[in-house]
Amino acid sequence: MGQVTKIEHPLVEHHLCRVRDCESRPGEFRDAVQRLAVLIGVYATRDLPVQSVVVRTPLADADCQQLSVRIGLVPILRAGLGMVDPLQDLLPDSAVWHLGLYRNEETAEPVGYYDKLPNTGAPNVALVLDPMLATGGSVDLVVRRLMKWGVDEIRVLSIIASQAGLERVNRDFPDVKVYVAAIDPVLNDQSFIVPGLGDAGDRIFDTPQQG
């Protein structure tokens, strides 16, 4: 499907069990999210450009390669925060820029509430982090904002995406690469992914909604 990469790996399947299981405790859920973020992050960065350098080991010079682009991590608040630490472990020189969106429960559409992106200094590559890609509305807003900022290349990293959400992103942003651990076929009447994993933000931060 277009620019979508669904990551096939036994460890991905194993940790997906933990995030889908409603019996997983918050700590188990967070740990599984972070492990999945590492696995997705490795795939999402495998074709980043590098440049040749020579470094000195304790014994001799060594020909090496290092990243040649500036990378920014853009977690969509708040659930995307659960994916930041493992990505920064992989990319310790990356900057982190936050965009805050909340879900209008009546319309299921995202509403922006936080944006502190500067006018200049956009990274070459932005990795958008959001555990769930449901309708694609949040990604739509974020991608448009990053394009306006001047980011050269945008990649989206999600744990579970809906078929409809991926089709929307592919249609509206054919150059944006999306990396996911699972693709679920259905959105319910409240635009939640089914079977999905519930509300990722509530499960990461242990803030269950009151009925």
Note whether residue 98 is domain-resident. yes
Of these residues, 31, 115, 140, 199, which one is catalytic?
Answer: 199
Of these residues, 85, 89, 107, 172, which one is catalytic?
Answer: 107
pLDDT of 2 = 66
Distance between CA atoms of 8 and 142, rounded to whole angstroms? Answer: 27
Length in residues, the chain: 211
Note whether residue 68 is domain-resident. yes
Structural domains of the chain, count: 1
pLDDT of 151 = 96
Q: Give me the helix-helix angle, 137-149 and 163-172, nearest 10°.
A: 30
Does the annotation count 202 as an active-site position?
yes
Of these residues, 103, 130, 135, 155, which one is catalytic?
Answer: 103
Each residue of 49-100: pLDDT tens digit? Answer: 999 999 999 999 999 999 999 999 999 988 899 999 999 999 999 999 988 8
Note whether residue 142 is domain-resident. yes
pLDDT of 95 = 94
Which residue range(s) make up the domain with 129? 4-51+63-189
What does each of the 211 residues of the chain score in pLDDT, given as a tens digit? 569 999 999 999 999 999 999 999 999 999 999 999 999 999 999 999 999 999 999 999 999 999 999 999 999 988 899 999 999 999 999 999 988 877 676 666 777 788 888 888 899 999 999 999 999 998 999 999 999 999 999 999 999 999 999 999 999 999 999 999 999 999 999 889 999 998 999 999 998 765 4
Angle at 47 between CA 44 and CA 51, to 5 degrees: 130
Note whether residue 204 is domain-resident. no
Note whether residue 196 is domain-resident. no
Does the annotation count 152 as an active-site position?
no
Query: Which amino acid, residue 146?
Result: L
Does the annotation count 199 as an active-site position?
yes
pLDDT of 122 = 93
Does the annotation count 206 as an active-site position?
no
